[in-house]
Amino acid sequence: MSEIPGIHREHVSAWLVANVADAVAPFEFSLIAGGRSNLTYLVTDANGVRRVLRRPPLGHVLATAHDMGREHRIITGVGQTNVPVARALGMCADETVNGAPFYVMSHIDGVVLDSPEAAETFTVQQRTTAANSLIDVMVDLHSIDPAAIGLGELGKRDGYLDRQLRRWTTQWDNSKTRELPAIDRVVELLRENKPEQLHTGIVHGDYRLGNCMVSRDTGAIIGVLDWELCTLGDLMADVGYLLVYHTDATQSWARANDPSSAGGFPTRRELLDRYAAKSGRDVSAVAYYEAFSCWRLACIGEGVLARYKAGVMGDVTEGIDFVTMDEGVHLLVDRALHAVESLV
């Protein structure tokens, strides 16, 4: 068997047999395409049962990033609610097993709508169901009492925007591959125009169709993925971020992994109205949170670009267009600047 970067086959196989119920060796491991931060692997055992393993990127990573134990704790807690999430099956904190902590969860058999092409395989009714379900699940997530599911200490509840502005400014400074003066102006305006934090709870941090499994039959959300940015804080951050990945027909800035540009989805206004009606929350400041999300996503994108260039993302650099990734960060900064300037 060929070696899989990021997986010590012998040690991980032994750990799986010893720690995951009904896991039967030998195992097949394959890197799941699409992950640009933590590495995600499909693990298939001798009985054909599929599970998923998550571990940090290879090599050095920023302090406090890629915390596997924290991510495992989140899906364990959220798994007690009606928010659809993979079942946590085991956590390995012993780095001698695989060179870094990792955890294992159940595999969800569905479709990720992470591009217009993926959306085009669904009917208009299924696309509408997917978008509406995305809102309904977010409302359910935002309605959870964190303390009731063991996540009361996941993060500080207040001062979310201040904390995020500090965190991602530091990440930009530590990861930047070149100077980009416009980002300094964005941060200045974001700090000057912060709205009051009105709604506090569990913030997913990367909530969009591209991070959900949807049913092949109905289009409904059957699993929310990628919880590494989850924390406690301002719920409007999730709402603003969702809009970064949802375009209307008159808009020209759709991202490549925005499925809504295929058409057949509810409008941005319809999604906002659905969230407001079902949650009872004020969404009037959402334009700020969309600008903030563009800026934060630019910082994240710069970190991903830096890790790819440093070769710590496993054997997944083939086909990666660094120029396009670089331009994507520029576009997000420009979009954030345009949006936040409109608030002044």
Tokens of 231: 């924390």
Q: What is the pLDDT of residue 59?
A: 65
Query: What tens digit of pLDDT does each residue of 28-54 get?
Result: 999 986 455 688 999 999 999 999 999
Q: What is the mean pLDDT of residues 322-337?
A: 85
Query: What tens digit of pLDDT does each residue of 194-222 get?
Result: 999 999 999 999 999 999 999 999 999 99
The SS3 of residue 145 is coil
Cβ atoms of residues 199 and 285 within 8 Å: no
Q: What is the mean pLDDT of residues 241-251?
A: 85
The contacts of residue 31 (CB under 8 Å, 6+ apart) are: 4, 5, 6, 39, 40, 41, 314, 315, 316
Global confidence as pTM: 0.90
Least confident range of 21-30, 170-179, 303-312, 328-337: 303-312
Q: Which H or E element spans position 222? A: strand 221-224
pLDDT at 314 over 60: no
29 vs 256 pLDDT, higher one:
29
- Residue the block writes with tokens 């590494």: 228
Query: What tens digit of pLDDT does each residue of 168-181 get?
Result: 999 999 888 788 88
Cβ atoms of residues 261 and 236 within 8 Å: no
Q: Give CA–CA dist 167/159, Å, rounded.
A: 12
β-sheet bridge partners, residue 55: 39
Q: What is the pLDDT of residue 303?
A: 84
| Band (343; pLDDT cuts 50, 70, 90) | confident
